[in-house]
Structure 1
């Protein structure tokens, strides 16, 4: 289950570019901004998407959907490990034909495991991409309204691996504000229903702080 959750978070992180590709371009938003002193904010956009109440609920639902497949893969992996240990323990007592037959059975099951795991990952990634893209578009709409209402002229996303933010004061971080604003608009309550594994889906934690000043790494 931890492995499944890790996969969900990894995929969500990797799909940030998909979300930004579906949002209006920065020049359009800037053109509507009033003239005057620049007012800049930063946001961890992919974090905001994933930590909305709707995002937490949707990702938890997706995790539960793939838990039966995860259990099947684990059972097959356990079977392979058992057969491998048996072959190692009994190998010198078996005939060449029996030893070869058991080795082939193990090899076939390994190939089956690899194919099934790859198919499950591709299926999950496809659903994750669709889920994240749809939700990211709606969160962006809330972000767009928020920055206009508060007079921001530029918003930088520091959740990307390559970003221009070296330092930002906490007061400029609007990640939590966007999460809260989206939760109000969507009307989706915070998830508190225990998951299939018995754990409770956590509420959205505080938004992470931007990176502290760091020296430029030579290329």
Structure 2
């Protein structure tokens, strides 16, 4: 048993030694890689173009949202009426009121699904267009600043504060693509 424990410890130690990091040395006269970090999602969502698009979408879909809320109030009224008239209505009257409530609920579910799908499709389209523009702009910013690499902060577990360029890129985006 003792030799088994010793053998196991030796195997573990050998494994740890083989996993130790290897330092690569840069050849003499080479330059240092310049890296910057951006929070890509926040950068896109913070642009004036996207902020305006989201406000415009909210205004565009407000009438449908209001109609949905009105329908929900009507459904609530039907449910209240049904509860208040328990035992007071004939079976046919109660069945009719229940059927009206079910139809209203189905109608509202469809309205909600359509509203959500339409809103999300337009929102996603605007974000997709802005993301494409942002990627093009990042290439330009990298060239202007002499950067070799721009990393999304979502993929970096640690970021030194001096290399974060999100605000600068948003400002450059808003200048290049002003909200209309």
In the superposition, the TM-score normalised over structure 1's length comes to 0.65
For this pair of structures, how many residues does the alignment match? 151
1:61 corresponding residue in structure 2 = 56
In the superposition, the TM-score normalised over structure 2's length comes to 0.78
Report how far residue 65 of structure 1 moved.
Answer: 0.5
2:11 corresponding residue in structure 1 = none
1:153 corresponding residue in structure 2 = 148
The partner residue of 2:80 within 77, 80, 85 is 85
Deviations 1:165-208, CA, capped at 9 Å, x for gaps? 1111221211111000111222448xxxxxxxxxxxxxxxxxxx
SS at match of 1:38: coil
Structure number with greater CO (CA < 8 Å, separation at least 6) is 2
Report how far residue 129 of structure 1 moved.
Answer: 2.0
Report how far residue 139 of structure 1 moved.
Answer: 1.8
Query: Higher helix share goes to which structure?
Result: 2
Q: Tell me if 1:74 matches 2:69.
A: yes
Structure 1 residue ranges (4+ consecutive) displaced by more than 2 angstroms after TM superposition: 186-189
**Residues of 1 paired with 2:69 and 2:161: CA distance?**
43
1:13 corresponding residue in structure 2 = none
Per mean C-alpha deviation after superposition, the further-off stretch among 105-114 and 39-48 is: 39-48
Deviations 1:3-58, CA, capped at 9 Å, x for gaps? xxxxxxxxxxxxxxxxxxxxxxxxxxxxxxxx731222221112111211111111
**How well do the aligned residues superpose, as a CA RMSD in angstroms?**
1.6
**Residues of 2 paired with 1:76 and 1:148: CA distance?**
55
How do 1:1-219 and structure 2 match up within 5 A? Answer: 36-158=31-153, 163-188=154-179
**Residues of 2 paired with 1:78 and 1:126: CA distance?**
27
Structure 2 unpaired stretches of 5+: 1-29
Structure 1 unpaired stretches of 5+: 1-34, 190-219
